[in-house]
Amino acid sequence: MDYNKPRYTPMSRRRRIYEGKAKVLYEGPEPGTLIQHFKDDATAAGTKKHEVIEGKGVLNNRISEYLFQRLNDIGVPTHFIRRLNMREQLIREVEIIPLEVCVRNVAAGSLATRLGIEEGTQLPRSIIEFYYKNDQLNDPMVSEEHITAFGWATPQEIDDIMALAIRVNDFMCGLFLGVGIRLVDFKMECGRLWENDLMRIVVADEISPDSCRLWDIKSSEKLDKDRFRRDMGGLLEAYTDVAKRLGIMSENERPQGAGPVLVKG
């Protein structure tokens, strides 16, 4: 199948498959593909806090495209095929595993609160946590025991997910460090991708400042969704800063990235 050949369907005629808090999934141009559309909606604390931040979807589409493409380049399998336009990307249809896989390098957010560790404390090693994706239950934390007992994933799949999470974390820590950003933690989702009779686990959904904690190395300034969660303002400026540092957007808004911009000592 030639995924690089554009085949457009007018927005109004597309079948909507799923609408989440920040994204919509539409039927794709070929079987086994979907179109992932990034909205401007920001939510926190379930959906109790909700705002529309104009331009957030465009930035997340670009940043997520960049990170997924880099992961594809180093052989980490993802659902990403290519970006279609300012707000949309073509992805492979996968069966989403109902888990939020969270990798933490530095204590922050719910881990800092739950265990009484000061925010900003480097963790002795990277920690992987699982949360059950369920809005009504506010995504409760679950253990491998829950995951296998309730059949959300098999022990082999959990091993594959953890191996993927470690690769993604190692790669992204280095990538962000190179542009003067500390990857404090992030959330990723995985899906089952079938190719003929073979199934493999791939990284799905998005990776963006909505789903990562990103702190400036020197000032510890927050460059992520905590700016919204904690009513700090300046979310769009922070996301734009991340995009520019990654070399995705210049002052004149170049459409294709020229690669990360190294920050010296």
- In the beta sheet, which residues pair with residue 86? none
Closest contact distance (angstroms) between CB of 46 and ligand TMP is 9
Distance CA 208, CA 215 (A): 13
- Which one, 169 or 211, has the nearer CB to ligand TMP? 211
Closest contact distance (angstroms) between CB of 229 and ligand TMP is 8
Interface residues with ligand TMP (CB under 6 A) are 102, 108-111, 139, 185-187, 211-213
- Which one, 60 or 240, has the nearer CB to ligand TMP? 60
C-alpha distances out from residue 110 to 43, 101, 131, 185, Å: 16, 14, 12, 11
- Which one, 113 or 154, has the nearer CB to ligand TMP? 113
Closest residue to ligand TMP using C-beta atoms: 109
- Which one, 99 or 102, has the nearer CB to ligand TMP? 102
- Which one, 102 or 193, has the nearer CB to ligand TMP? 102
Closest contact distance (angstroms) between CB of 100 and ligand TMP is 6
The amino acid that residue 247 corresponds to is G
Closest contact distance (angstroms) between CB of 71 and ligand TMP is 17
Distance CA 194, CA 31 (A): 12
What are the phi and psi torsion angles at 15 (to 5°)? -85, 125
What are the phi and psi torsion angles at 179 (to 5°)? -115, 25
- Which one, 26 or 228, has the nearer CB to ligand TMP? 228
Closest contact distance (angstroms) between CB of 251 and ligand TMP is 28
Closest contact distance (angstroms) between CB of 15 and ligand TMP is 27
**CA quadruple 39, 42, 44, 50: dihedral positive or negative?**
negative
Closest contact distance (angstroms) between CB of 4 and ligand TMP is 31
C-beta neighbour count of 134 within 10 angstroms: 12
- Which one, 182 or 187, has the nearer CB to ligand TMP? 187
Q: Rounded to the nearest 5 degrees, what angle is found at the Cα of 54, between the Cα atoms of 228 and 109?
A: 15
Q: How would you list the strands of the sheet with 88-92, edge to edge? A: 16-19, 23-27, 33-38, 88-92, 80-83
Cα Dmax for the chain: 53
